[in-house]
A and B are shown apart, each in its own frame.
Chain A
Amino acid sequence: MALLVNRILIRGIIIVLANGCNFVDTFRKSKSKAERSVTSGAELGTVIGEPLGSKAYGQNDTELAALYAVSTSHPPAPIRPDADVHFRRLLLQFRSEGSQVARLIGEVEAYRDLLGGASKDFSKKPLEDYDATSLLALIKASELICESLVAPTPDKHGNWQTALPQDPSEVTENITFLYQRLTGSKNSDLDATTLSSLKSVLTTWSPGGIYDASSYVPVCVAISVDGEALFL
Chain B
Amino acid sequence: MKHSYLTRNIVLFLLSLGAWDLVQASENPGRALKRAKYLLNGQFPSDSELQATGVDDNSYKTAVRGFLDSQLFYDATLRYHERLFGTGLQSDYLDELLNDNLEGNGSKLAKVFCGREKGRLTCDWASSDDARRVSSCPANWQVATTAFWYPGLVTWVCPTLQRSCGSDLSKCLVVEQDSSLALNAELGTTEAFDAKSSVVKSLSRQSAGIATGVVIGNYPYTKVLEPGLTAVDGAIAYLYQQSHHFDLSKMNVGTSLLNYSKQVPLNSRHFTLINTGSSYEQGGVISTFGWLRRYEKNRTRGNQVYERLLCRKFTSELPRVFPQDPGNLRTAAGCSGCHASLDPLADFFSTWGEGGELYTGQKPGVASTFAGQSGSSVSELSEIIRLDDAFASCTVENVWEWLMGRRFYDDEAPLRAAFSSYFFKVNYSFKELVYAVVTHPAFREGSRADALVSTPLSPPPLGQPPGTSTQLPDCSTYGSISFATHISPKASACSNCHSAGSQRQPLVTKADWANLKSLSVSMMSSGSMPPGLSGPPFSGSAWDFKELVRCWDGVTP
Contacts and interface: CB of A to CB of B under 8 A. Distances in A.
Chains A and B belong together in one complex: yes
Task: Give chain B's interface secondary structure class.
Answer: mixed
B188 interface: yes
Contact of A106 (B180, B260, B427, B449): B180
Interface in B121-144: 121, 144
B409 A74 contact: yes
B535 A52 contact: no
Interface in A162-203: 180-187, 189, 193-194, 197-198, 200-201
Contact of A72 (B7, B154, B192, B442): B442
A221 B11 CA distance: 11
B529 interface: no
A232 B38 contact: yes
Contact of A60 (B234, B404, B425): B425
B45 interface: yes
A68 B443 CA distance: 11
A161 interface: no
Interface string A121-151: 1100110110000000001000000000000
A204 B9 contact: yes
A106 B42 CA distance: 19
B88 interface: yes
21 contacts: A42-B263, A45-B217, A47-B273, A54-B534, A57-B429, A58-B426, A58-B429, A63-B422, A67-B436, A75-B449, A77-B404, A77-B449, A93-B43, A109-B180, A118-B88, A125-B83, A197-B13, A204-B9, A222-B9, A232-B38, A232-B405
Contact of A68 (B221, B425, B441): B441
Interface in B36-62: 37-39, 42-47, 50-51
Given A25-B154, A76-B448, A226-B17, 5 more contacts: A20-B156, A25-B152, A52-B223, A56-B218, A185-B30
B302 interface: no
A120 B86 CA distance: 9
B220 interface: yes
A120 B38 contact: no
User: Which 6 residue pairs across A and B have the least CB separation, nearest first?
Assistant: A45-B217, A184-B44, A56-B429, A77-B405, A122-B86, A21-B154
Contacts of A6: none
Interface stretch (B164-172, B313-321, B412-420, B500-508): B412-420
B184 A105 contact: yes
A70 interface: yes
A197 B425 contact: no
Contacts of B43: 89, 92-93
A159 interface: no
A221 B8 CA distance: 12
A125 B307 CA distance: 15
A93 to B, nearest CB: 5
Given A50-B277, A52-B273, A57-B432, A122 B219 contact: no
A40 B150 CA distance: 11
Nearest to B272: A42
Contact of A102 (B185, B269, B409, B430): B185
Given A44-B270, A121-B90, A75 B448 contact: yes
A41 B181 contact: no
Interface of A: 19-22, 24-25, 27-28, 35-37, 39-42, 44-60, 63-64, 66-68, 70-79, 81-82, 85, 89, 92-93, 97-99, 101-103, 105-106, 109, 118-122, 125-126, 128-129, 139, 180-187, 189, 193-194, 197-198, 200-201, 204-205, 218, 221-222, 225-227, 231-232
A4 to B, nearest CB: 26
Contacts of B151: 28, 35, 40
Nearest to B86: A122
Given A76-B404, A126-B83, A222-B13, A53 B180 contact: no
Contact of A74 (B83, B229, B414, B449): B449
B440 A102 contact: no
Nearest to B278: A50
B428 interface: yes
Contact of A139 (B10, B20, B215, B270): B10
A78 B154 contact: no
Nearest to B192: A99
B108 interface: no
B6 interface: yes
A67 B44 contact: no
B514 interface: no
Contact of A47 (B2, B192, B220, B275): B275
B71 interface: yes
